[in-house]
Amino acid sequence: MNYLLDTHAILWVLFQPENLSYKVESEILNQRNRIFISSISLWEISLKFSLKKLELQGITPEQLPKKIREVGFEFIGDSPEIFANYFKLPTGKHTDPFDRFLIWQAVSFDFVFITKDRYLKEYNPLGLRLFW
């Protein structure tokens, strides 16, 4: 199975694994699964870090790509088409631009989206599959 991690899930895997559900931890550890990370999440983390809204336990955002690769996760190969077709995602009630783009990537790449955010169920009719 191919999974895309929400930003909070990335941070929890790296810094607070006790916050992960047992199901999520099992799927992440399952070698048959591929776990993907979006560059959008790195942008979100970097932005929040620069605004002093996020601490990374002694590291800086520029160290995250290496740390993420070390745990065996892959980065999504973003394409101009994904960005150009983003307008197709209905606005809905959820307006966070980072979450919305991650939703769009999960739908576009047919990934299961690992997130604790249950408010995203409104996108299930578009093909969004949530897991927690």
Single out the residue of 115, 116, 131, 120 nearest to residue 94, CA to CA: 120
> 3-class SS at 14?
helix
> How does residue 92 score in pLDDT terms, banded at 50, 70 and 90?
confident
CA distance 71 to 33: 13
> How does residue 103 score in pLDDT terms, banded at 50, 70 and 90?
very high
DSSP-assigned states of every residue in 51-115: TTS---TT--GGGHHHHHHHTT-EE----HHHHHTGGGS---S---HHHHHHHHHHHHHT-EEE-
Domain ranges in the chain?
Answer: 2-131
Residue 1 · residue 32 · CB < 8 Å:
yes
> How does residue 116 score in pLDDT terms, banded at 50, 70 and 90?
very high
More confident of the two residues 91 and 81: 81
pLDDT value of position 118: 84
Q: At the fourth CATH level, which superfamily is domain 2-131?
A: 5'-nuclease (3.40.50.1010)
pLDDT value of position 99: 93
- How does pLDDT run across 7-23, given as a tens digit for each residue? 999 999 999 999 999 99
